[in-house]
Amino acid sequence: MYLNLIQIAESFGVAEKVVEGWIRDEGLPHTVDRGRLLFDRAQVAQWAATRGLASQAGFLAPETSAFATGVRLEALLRVGGIWRDVPAAEAPKMFERIAAALPGTTPPVRHLVARLLRAPGGVTIAPVGGGFALPHPSARIALGRESGTVALLMLREPLRLAEPPADGVPVTKLFFFIAPSPRAHLDVLGRLGLLLTRGPLRELVNAAASDDEILKAVAASDRVPASNSDMDPAS
C-alpha cells in the first residue's frame, strides 16, 4: 500500500515540511512518481520503528488496533448517511450539510465546524486508491465522545483534485468524516483506509450495494480486528 505526503504527515501528526525534512536528512524511504512523493507503508513503518517514532496512528496504525479509541464506524455512518448520485461540484456543500447534523453538539459548535470547512484548505482530501478518498477537516476538532460522523458520498462524476491520485483512478467515492477528538481522528482515518483496502467494503460500494449491505460490512469491521484471516487483501 502506497501513501502520499499528506497521509504520512497525518499519520505522524506533523507538518508536511517535517516529512520532507525526514526525506532529506533522515533517509525516509520514498519514491517519486510524476513529481509526486509516494511512500510504501511497510517501509515507512519499519523506518519509524528504528527511530522510536510514534507511527501507531492513521494510515500507519497496526492492523490489530481497530479498537484504539472505541469509536464505532457503523454508528458514525448511520449518523452521516449514505448519499448517492451527488454532483461532484456539490461535495463541499454536502460536507457542511453533514456537519450541520452533528449529534451531541450545540448550534455554535456546528457553526464553527461549518466555518472551518468553508475556509481555504479547510478540508483535506486523502485519496486511498481505487477511486476512493477520505475528506476530513484539516483542523483537529474536540467535539466530545457522543459526537462525530462518517458519510459516504457516491459522486455522479469524478472529483477534481489539485493532484491526481497515485494510481490514476478518478475519485468518485468519498468517505467524509468528522471524528469526536484529535486522537479518534487518527484512529478513524487509519481504520477507513484499511477498510478500503481489505475486505468487501470497496467491492460493495463499487457495485452500488444497498445501504443495509454497506452498513453490515462496516459493522463487521467494528467487531473483528482488521488482521482477521477472513479479510483478505483486495487486489
Q: What is the pLDDT of residues 152-204, one digit of tens each?
A: 999 999 999 888 887 889 999 999 999 998 878 888 888 888 888 777 999 99
Q: Could you tell me if residue 168 is inside a domain?
A: yes
Do 38 and 82 share a domain, yes or no?
Answer: no
Higher-pLDDT residue of 211, 228: 211
Q: Which residues pair with 173 in a beta bridge?
A: 132, 154
Residues 30 and 130 in one domain: no
Residue 20 sits in a domain whose CATH number is 1.10.1660.10
| pLDDT number for residue 56 | 47
Q: Whole-angstrom Cα distance, residue 111 to residue 155?
A: 25
Closest CA to 175 of 157, 158, 155: 155
Domain annotation covers residue 28: yes
Using the predicted structure, report yes or no on whether residue 67 has a pLDDT greater than 60.
no
Q: What whole-number distance in Å separates Cα of residue 231 and Cα of residue 143?
A: 32
Residue 219 has pLDDT above 70, yes or no: yes
Q: Which whole number is the average pLDDT over 52-63?
A: 57
First to last CA, the chain: 11
- Residue 229 counted as domain residue: no
Count of the separate structural domains present in the chain: 2
Cell numbers for 117, please give them.
470547512
Q: How confident is the model at residue 59, as a pLDDT?
A: 66
pLDDT at 64 over 80: no
Rg (CA), the chain: 17
The pLDDT of residue 234 is above 50 = no
Residue 220 pLDDT greater than 50, yes or no:
yes
Q: What is the CATH number of the domain that holds 84?
A: 3.40.930.10
- What percent of the chain has pLDDT above 90? 47
Domain enclosing residue 137, as ranges: 73-223
Lowest-pLDDT choice from 9-18, 120-129, 140-149: 9-18
Let me know if residue 37 belongs to a domain.
yes
Average pLDDT, the chain: 84
